[in-house]
Amino acid sequence: MEKKKRLIINLISNIISFALQLGISFILTPIITEKVGTAAYGFIGLSNNFISYANIFTVIINSMASRFITYEITKGNMEKANKYYSSVFFMNIIMSSIIAVFSTIFIININNLLDIPIEFEKDVKITFIFAFINLVLSIMSTIFTIATYVKDRLDLEAVRNIIGNIIKAIFLIIAFSLLEPKIYYITIGGVIFTLFIFLANIRLTKRLMPQLKINIKNFDKASIWTLVKSGIWNSINNLSRVLLTGLDLLIANLFIGADAMGLLSIAKTIPTTIENLLSTIANIFSPRFIILYSKRRIRELVQEVNFSTKIIAFIMIVPIAGFIIFGKEFFVLWLGNETIENINKIQILSILSLLPYVVSVSNYSLFILDTVTNKLKRPVIATLIISMLSTITTIALLKFTDLGIYAVAGVSSIYWILKVIVFNNINAAKNLRIKWNAFLGQFIKNTGCLIMIMIIFEIIKKPFVLNTWKTFILGVGVAAIIGYLLSFIILFSKEEKQNVIRTIKSKIMKGSEK
């Protein structure tokens, strides 16, 4: 019961945090594009992509730190956990210094490396300066996120993110309301958010895990080498993801132009937010997976993984299906300052960018098992191969066809879908040394549910004329209620439905007694 309660709290708090981030993007994106232009807006997304390029380097140490520290604490080995903890902290200082040097060199030469309209040169430089400052702060604060992970108190992390996003939103509202609109306000807001998170994480660590201490005497080369041997695969995996989906804005900028990059950046706003929510929800289950795996309770772990895929699918199927079916109407209302031609392009690009999650929503938590089991080599090699093929295919299509920006958005999605369908389920089963099709049944069920919901949404949409926010919210609201009811009926077993109903009834009874 305590585990279920903690899971519910974690889910709700993280969904609220996500909704707040989505709200900020929803309000600010049309304002920014109207006041500074589509091309300028694209450089915000491009600066974020460059952060992901730098993270290829940092994940070598940080990606596996939570796993190994949690594993050692579960085993009761606090001395070893502190060696990992201190070693990661001091390595992050070193990596931050190296990144700061290379960032400075990049910004000095940015005009020679990117296609930047003359009128935006100064603003783009400032945007990238604050983006890299934000990156350095993020690296320095990473080690202090481990306490909430170890204690499975990701709800506290979500609450911290909610407060940080409110502070960021207040700054952005004031800046865009009172000052001349500039794209670099976004990255300055990011620095403010990260600085708050940094300080809040230090406080949370002292409260939750006072046993974790930073001490130069605990710096341990053997611990670093253990993290590097595992983390190098995550680093290569990040490189593969960058080749697959993270180069799209850069390729658009260099091969097509700043305007096309801006349209793609807008189109990726909702798909990127959906991916972030998917990752956030999946990671809620990660501490529990590690604990079960460290105790070798594999059968229970398989049950937990299958249950997590149901929860993730239940939460995400409706927004993904809704965005695909109602996307055109949404963009017309949201981006009223854009031409119909541009809105049509943005809609197509957004669906192409979202396609991978149509299938990966059904088994997203299986990605976590690679880290949990510390078996990263096979999935990383698979991702690297498809990412290289994707990049080569995209550049070839740009050179020899007229597909243009659609090739940039579509090719990587097709390759990613193939990997999810052909590789992910079998790889996860192999990691746990269980039957190859152990996760396949739930994957088919979840994917079938998503397709069915999309068909139903298309039917529901027909009687509505969605030309105002009022009618749009009404139509989407009706669809969402029906979608979640059907998802609940389809995805969960009879026993799981009864447990949910009993929990709701007990809450209602307690409320009435009060």
Q: Where are the alpha helices (DSSP H) in 285-339?
A: 286-294, 298-334
Give rounded-to-5 percent helix, strand, coil for the chain: 85, 0, 15
Tell me what percent of the residues of the chain surpass a pLDDT of 70: 96
**Cβ neighbourhood burial of 220 (10 Å; 0-12, 13-18, 19+):** middle
Q: What is the mean pLDDT of residues 398-406?
A: 90
Give the pLDDT confidence score for residue 509 in this predicted structure: 54
* Both structure tokens of 435: 């039957």
Q: What is the mean pLDDT of residues 163-170?
A: 88
What's the alpha-carbon Rg for the chain, to the nearest Å? 23
Task: Show contacts of 55-59: CB within 8 Å, 24+ apart.
Answer: 55/135, 55/238, 56/235, 56/238, 56/239, 56/242, 57/95, 57/98, 57/99, 57/235, 58/92, 58/95, 58/99, 58/139, 58/142, 59/231, 59/234, 59/235, 59/238
493: left (phi over 0), alpha (psi -120 to 50) or beta: beta
Per DSSP, the three-state class of 349 is helix
The mean-pLDDT minimum among 234-243, 249-258, 417-426, 487-496 falls in 234-243
The kind and range of the H/E element at 37 are none
Phi, psi angles (nearest 5°) of residue 394: -60, -50
Find all residues with CB under 8 Å of 389, minimum gap 6, and list them: 415
* Both structure tokens of 308: 């997590």
Q: Rounded to whole angstroms, how far apart are CA atoms 474 and 112?
A: 49
- Looking at residue 291, its amino acid is I
Give the pLDDT confidence score for residue 347 in this predicted structure: 92
Does 99 have pLDDT greater than 60?
Answer: yes
Find all residues with CB under 8 Å of 220, minimum gap 6, and list them: 83, 84, 86, 87
Q: Rounded to whole angstroms, how far apart are CA atoms 84 and 74?
A: 14
Average pLDDT, the chain: 84
From residue 36, give the alpha-carbon distance in Å to each of 31, 358, 490: 8, 33, 46
Higher local confidence (pLDDT), 150 or 509: 150
| Residue whose entry in the numeric block shows the structure tokens 């398989």 | 302
Half-sphere exposure of 339 (CA within 13 A, CB side): 6
Does 507 have pLDDT greater than 60?
Answer: no
Give the pLDDT confidence score for residue 5 in this predicted structure: 64
Is residue 262 within 8 Å of 407, Cβ to Cβ? no
Q: pLDDT band for 506, please (50, 70, 90 cuts).
A: low
- Give the model confidence (pLDDT) of 314-356 as tens digits: 989 999 999 999 999 999 988 877 888 889 999 999 999 998 8
Does 197 have pLDDT greater than 60?
Answer: yes
Is residue 157 within 8 Å of 148, Cβ to Cβ? yes
Give the pLDDT confidence score for residue 510 in this predicted structure: 53
pTM for the whole structure: 0.75
- Give the model confidence (pLDDT) of 452-486 as tens digits: 999 999 999 988 888 899 999 999 999 999 999 99
Please name which of 503, 449, 158 lies closest in space to residue 309, comparing C-alpha atoms. 449
Please name which of 221, 265, 274, 263 lies closest in space to residue 246, comparing C-alpha atoms. 265
Q: Rounded to whole angstroms, how far apart are CA atoms 491 and 108?
A: 53
* Both structure tokens of 352: 């192409």
Q: What is the mean pLDDT of residues 421-450?
A: 88
37: left (phi over 0), alpha (psi -120 to 50) or beta: left
Find all residues with CB under 8 Å of 328, minimum gap 6, and list them: 343, 344, 347
Give the pLDDT confidence score for residue 380 in this predicted structure: 83
Q: Rounded to whole angstroms, how far apart are CA atoms 448 and 184?
A: 43
Tell me what percent of the residues of the chain surpass a pLDDT of 90: 18
Q: Rounded to whole angstroms, how far apart are CA atoms 26 and 335?
A: 10
- Give the model confidence (pLDDT) of 5-63 as tens digits: 666 776 777 777 777 777 877 877 787 777 777 777 788 888 888 887 777 778 887 77
Per DSSP, the three-state class of 334 is helix
- Looking at residue 373, its amino acid is T
Q: Rounded to whole angstroms, how far apart are CA atoms 411 and 400?
A: 14
Is residue 247 within 8 Å of 398, Cβ to Cβ? no
Q: Rounded to whole angstroms, how far apart are CA atoms 449 and 1?
A: 28
Q: Which of 133-137, 174-178, 207-211 has the highest mean pLDDT?
A: 133-137
User: How many other CB atoms sit within 10 Å of the CB of residue 166?
Assistant: 14
**Cβ neighbourhood burial of 272 (10 Å; 0-12, 13-18, 19+):** middle
